[in-house]
Amino acid sequence: MSQRALTCHEVVEIITDYLEDVLPAEDRRRVEEHLVVCDGCTMYLEQMRETIRLTGMLTVEQIPEEQQRRLLEAFRTWTA
């Protein structure tokens, strides 16, 4: 990346790299400098963090009992 300031359009495309903490130190610094002066990107970052938090509230779906029973029967033969 060049050393000019990042645009908002560029920030939203590297926001995951920023959240995953995989940006080179120099780029990380440029994102942070941008966030200090940009309410739009600060809001966007907050939306991404909320998206992650809310996604974490989903539950894992259950599978039919019939399928569970069949697997248990198979397990018995495998370990017999």
Choice from 23, 30, 31, 41 touching another protein (CB under 8 A): 41
b/e map 45-66, b = 16+ CB within 10 Å: beeeeeeeeeeeeeeeeeeeee
Choice from 2, 20, 26, 37 touching another protein (CB under 8 A): 20
How many C-beta atoms surround the C-beta of residue 75 within 10 A?
Answer: 10
Choice from 2, 7, 28, 32 touching another protein (CB under 8 A): 7
Q: Which of 47, 40, 37 is nearest to 16 (CA)?
A: 47
Q: Does 62 bind another protein (CB under 8 A)?
A: yes
Choice from 1, 13, 29, 32 touching another protein (CB under 8 A): 13
Residue 48's contacts (CB-CB under 8 Å, 6 or more residues apart) are 15, 16, 19
Q: For binding to another protein (CB under 8 A), which residues are involved?
A: 7-10, 12-13, 15-17, 20, 22, 38-41, 43-44, 46-48, 50-52, 54-58, 60-63, 67-68, 70-72, 74-76, 78-79
